[in-house]
Chain A
Amino acid sequence: GAGVSQTPSNKVTEKGKYVELRCDPISGHTALYWYRQSLGQGPEFLIYFQGTGAADDSGLPNDRFFAVRPEGSVSTLKIQRTERGDSAVYLCASSEAGGMETQYFGPGTRLLVL
């Protein structure tokens, strides 16, 4: 079946603009995760959804970052007033139920803030 998909694959924006990044998880997976990966580093956790609710948002760096998953499937990561330091690859992952199950990652969205 299809894996995790993310759109857009690349996004270039200007400092101060608003961006939305979309994630389509594997069908049937109830758990969804967002991570951020800077060049040469491992991914860093941002937020975890179980169903429609954010079960753990402890990794969101500040209140400019927000994520939703209104119907328990597709999720959108929203970044307001973007800063150059937000430039990174944003990765989405999903797992069957959010326990110790394997997290399967999408290809990522490469965000560049000019």
Chain B
Amino acid sequence: EDQVTQSPEALRLQEGESSSLNCSYTVSGLRGLFWYRQDPGKGPEFLFTLYSAGEEKEKERLKATLTKKESFLHITAPKPEDSATYLCAVSWGAQKLVFGQGTRLTINP
């Protein structure tokens, strides 16, 4: 069964303290890996799509990278407004996305 696992489940950082979130997935047949941000009471907001190993995407303080077996979301010098749940989702060729359980990120001022 195709699976997506995110770690850690929760992460608390001080403002300015850089860190990384991990997303690992069943390896064979990956077509695309997606990162979303979700604020409480809202729907997921698209951040990045990665298609092949070695690919990197950046947006403000966020950078997503992809290897053959996992993806990382690096957050550099985070601010309190970066606090949210970050979701990783994978497509193996069918149109549906399979999501991980998310990482709940809290940035303390």
Residue numbers of A with Cβ under 8 A of B are: 4, 31, 33, 35, 40-45, 48, 50, 55-56, 58-59, 91, 93, 95, 98-100, 102-108
Q: Are B96 and A56 in contact, CB atoms less than 8 angstroms apart?
A: yes
Q: Count A-B contacts at CB 8 Å.
A: 66
Is B45's CB under 8 angstroms from A100's CB? Answer: no
Cβ-defined contact, A33 with B96, below 8 A: yes
Residue of B46, B87, B96 near A42 (CB, 8 A) is B87
By the criterion CB–CB under 8 Å, are A31 and B45 in contact? Answer: no
Given contacts A31-B95, A40-B102, 4 further A-B contacts (CB under 8 A): A35-B97, A100-B49, A103-B34, A107-B41
Contact present for A91 and B89 (CB under 8 Å) = no
Nearest B residue to A105, CB-CB: B43
Which of A4, A58, A102, A105 sits near B49, CB closer than 8 Å? A102
Q: Which residues 58-104 of B have a CB within 8 angstroms of A? A: 87, 89, 91, 94-102
Once the chains are docked, how many angstroms separate the CA of A93 from the CA of B46?
11
Count residues of chain B with CB under 8 A from any CB of chain A: 26
Q: Which residues of A contact B43 (CB under 8 A)?
A: 4, 91, 93, 105-108
Cα separation A56 to B95 with both chains bound (whole Å): 8
B42 contacts A48, C-beta separation under 8 Å:
no
Min Cβ gap B78→A in Å is: 22
Known: A91-B44, A108-B43. A103 touches B32 (CB 8 A): no
Within 8 Å CB of A33, what residues of B? Answer: 95-97
Query: What are the residues of chain B within 8 A of A106 when measuring CB–CB?
Result: 43
Contact B46 A102 (CB under 8 A): yes
